[in-house]
Structure 1
Amino acid sequence: MRAELGPVGIVVRPRVAVAVLTLSALAFCGLVASVSIGTFHIPLGDVLGSLFGVGTGDADLIVRELRLPRALTALLVGLAFGLSGAVFQAVTRNPLAGPDLIGISAGASAGAVGVILLGGVTAAGAGSFGAVPFGALAGALLTAILIYTMAFRGGTITGYRFVLVGLAAHGALMAITRWMLARADIDQAASAMVWLTGSLNGRGYEHVRWVGLALLLLVPPTLAMARSYQLLQFDDDTALSLGMPLRRARIALLVLATCLAAVATAAAGPVAFVALGAPQIARRLAGTAGIPLVTSGLVGAAMLLAADLAARLAFSPTELPVGVVTGAVGAPYLMWLLARSNRAGKGG
């Protein structure tokens, strides 16, 4: 189905539209459930009243001040991870090219942990933000530059080489992070370890503002490059024949994806497998040959909200870090993806 607005034509695929609407509804339901369910249960009507600014009493206080910041952070972080994973997998044409697997999240982690240790953040201040986002962003960008430089050969870059270099960078950066933890005092190491697991505990409106502002700056240029994003999923010769500046478009999209992953990692830690799994789930839901960008972001948001809710309820009243849940679910998925890629001859 094609819609036209003046000189602009938009192709709307009904299945993609249905997937976007359904995932948006699921994300909203996950947000409401995350705010409603807890040690003190809040009725759905009171939750909706608080969300739309007409709530009263203790329920309004619990919703707006205690639970809503965490739920909004999960929503925005999941969206950022989903978009980042989609761009990495589309640009490299490899389903294994998630930022948490190829070293981008590890670079962000190393930068953030360095800031935590140098800044003297203790376990009591684990939820504070300060310079952590900037350390994560610097670490992720430097890692991306290193990976791209090492993987670039003969005027091009292949997904197989990109993933191999990324895996090597991931191992080296994790070793550096462990070395920093070994030299830290026990309070700083405890704070950093909680963050490294991937956790949404103690998240406040400062995290919502940071991630929200970053998404406002990063999502529009990412969506504006939708044509380049689509063409990069074909082979290089096809993209070049259609007049696309291949190297410039690839670098621009990789920078945007790196920044999205760094922002998400700075807010919640290196939550595993959301960026890896969301694009593949979105592609199957939308029924497209390529990876749908917006659908991937919505899948990531819904996944992280569901995982955080499960982390809170599985062993209540003890709350697990959300990274434990995503890791437990994602590890079997990764093994299945590796086996499927090898059977199909698409490991590279």
Structure 2
Amino acid sequence: MTSCRPAARAVSPRLLLRVGRNVALPVRRVSPLAALALFVLLVVAAVATLSLGRLGIPLADLAGAVTGGAEGKNAFVLERLRGPRLTVAVGTGAALGLSGALFQSVTRNPLGSPDVIGLASGAGAGAAIAALLFPGSVPAGLGALLGAVLAMALVHVSTGTGFRNPARLVIAGIGVAAIGTAITQYVVHAMERDRAAVLAAYVNGSLSARSWDDATTIWLVLLVVAPFTALVSRRLDIGEMGDDIAGALGSEPRGTKTAGVVLAIVLSAGAVVVAGPIAFISLTAPQIAKRLTRVSGPHLMLSALTGALLLVLADLCAQQLPLFDSLPVGIYTMAIGGLYLGRLLVREWRRGVL
């Protein structure tokens, strides 16, 4: 028999979903409504992506095209141009949102995202070095993956305490990010103009000319990693109370943090492989998700939906705003995220965290 009753108010505004006598699953009251709202907005943004503009599929034909009835121009737009691009945007945004939620939960700091601690810059530097030293033989995605892993290793060593000290994590990450950016800019300057232009678009984060192979890659990463994030989610939730309490409750905080960081790096690396280092989605999406619920926890599903929505909206701007035609989508996310990061840094400084 299944029933729902309110949990203790002193803990958080949740329901306990009971299955039999021995199983009780906590459910945040507002999460289903927030998830539904985000999903509806994502569908609206997806429809706009497919239908707006000179090459857009008319709304009257869109449902038939999506269900397999596309012909002529509509088929070309859906199958070659906007369909793969939209699918990659949704998957990449979801992966970045999940990655940011995991990092911020592990560090218990809103600044603990892959952007701030140098993962994206390291990935860009790795792609740049691969393009410069091994043109045509080492894919940019593989170079980005190796660069991201190396950047995280440098941050881990530089802090002296791994990922446990948020302030040191941010400072070390800024240093590693600066090094990665310097390497990338040097390579772009040293390369031939045509190759440098292609590399510059990639390291800024771009969804142009994405294929179904790219969509398959990012969604495969999500399908493989998502079950593990669900398994670690409850332990991360307990970890919000501190390592001592989490250890007393049997959650093994060190192992949980390691698992969370590894999963976050895999998700971010998958996103970088298919779309380049898209900035600030992983920083902002978990914070928006947290404000939708106003309770503690990593908010993994909401962060994924928020990340997908933010990236689809940014890509819609990249495609449809005539003033900034053909700009990489990462430029839009960087502009918005930079403002948000500044606000967040000021708030954390006033609270005495930094």
TM over 0.5: yes
Cα distance change of structure 1 residues 109 and 156 upon mapping to structure 2, 3 Å threshold: closer
Compared CA separation, residues 10 and 209, structure 1 to 2 (3 A):
same
CA contact 1:70–1:201 (8 Å) conserved in 2: yes
> 2:184 & 2:132 partners in 1: Cα distance?
11
Choose which of 54, 64, 71 in structure 2 pairs with 1:49: 64
**Distance 1:340-1:140 versus aligned 2 partners, 3 A rule:** same
| CA distance in structure 2 between the partners assigned to 1:213 and 1:8 by the alignment | 31
Q: Is 2:192 aligned against 1:185? A: yes
Which residue is 2:271 aligned to? 264
Distance 2:215 2:163 in 1: 38
Is the Cα–Cα contact under 8 Å of residues 240 and 296 in structure 2 kept in the other structure? Answer: no
Answer yes or no: is the 8 Å Cα contact 1:31–1:72 preserved in 2: no
> 1:3 aligns to what?
17
Q: 2:322 aligns with which of 299, 315, 318?
A: 315
Q: Which residue of 2 aligns with 1:277?
A: 284
| Alpha-carbon offset, residue 213 of structure 1 | 1.2
What are the within-5 Å matches in structure 2 for residues 1-348 of structure 1? 1-6=15-20, 7-120=22-135, 131-153=139-161, 157-315=164-322, 318-347=325-354
Deviations 1:45-81 (A, max 9, x none): 3122222223344323322222110011111110011
What is the identity, as a one-letter code, of the residue corresponding to 1:255?
A: V
Give, in whole Å, the separation in 1 of the partners of 2:151 and 2:276. 17
CA contact (8 A) 1:110 1:177 kept: yes
Distance of 1:182 and 1:57 partners within structure 2: 42
SS at match of 2:24: strand
Task: Indicate the SS of the match to 1:335.
Answer: helix
- Tell me which of the two structures has the higher relative contact order, counting C-alpha pairs closer than 8 angstroms and 6 or more residues apart: 1
Matched-pair contact (CA < 8 Å) for 2:202–2:275: yes
Contiguous gaps of at least 5 residues in structure 2: 1-14
1:138 maps to amino acid = L
* Range with greater deviation from structure 2 (56-65 or 134-143): 56-65
Give how far 1:316 is off: 6.0
In 2, distance between residues paired with 1:119 and 1:30?
39
Three-state SS of the structure 1 residue aligned to 2:68 is coil
Aligned residues: 339
**Residues of 2 paired with 1:119 and 1:150: CA distance?**
29
Question: CA 1:204–1:316 in 2, change beyond 3 Å: closer, same or farther?
Answer: farther
Decide which moves more: 45-54 or 333-342: 45-54
Identity over aligned residues, as a percent? 38
Q: Alpha-carbon deviations, 1:207-243, whole Å to 9, x = none? A: 1011111111122111211112212323221211212
Distance in 2, Cα, partners of 1:302 & 1:14: 22
In structure 2, what is the Cα distance between the partners aligned to 1:333 and 1:25? 24
Structure 2 contact 93–308 (Cα < 8 Å) conserved: yes
In structure 2, the CA distance between the partners of 1:276 and 1:156, relative to structure 1 (3 Å rule), is closer
CA-CA distance at 1:3 after TM superposition: 2.2
Name the SS for the 1:99 alignment partner. Answer: coil
Q: Secondary structure at the match of 1:244?
A: coil
Question: Counterpart of 1:90 in structure 2: which amino acid?
Answer: S
Counterpart CA distance in 1 for 2:292 and 2:268 is: 23
- Deviation of the 1:130 alpha carbon: 7.2
AA at the equivalent of 1:11: P
Conserved? CA contact 2:124–2:203, under 8 Å:
yes
Q: Give structure 1 regions of 4+ aligned residues with deviation exceeding 6 angstroms.
A: none
Distance in structure 1 (CA, Å) of the matches to 2:319 and 2:157:
41
How well do the aligned residues superpose, as a CA RMSD in angstroms?
2.1
- 8 Å CA contact 2:120–2:279 kept in 1: the answer is no
TM-score by length of 2: 0.89
How far 1:156 moved relative to its partner?
A: 7.7
Q: How far apart are the structure 2 equivalents of 1:67 and 1:182?
A: 32
Distance 2:16 2:50 in 1: 39
List runs of 5+ in structure 1 lacking aligned partners: 122-128
Output the CA distance in 2 between the equivalents of 1:316 and 1:178: 25
Deviations 1:96-120 (A, max 9, x none): 1221121111111122222233342
Q: Which amino acid aligns with 2:215?
A: V
Q: How much does 1:90 deviate?
A: 0.9
TM-score, with structure 1 as normaliser: 0.91
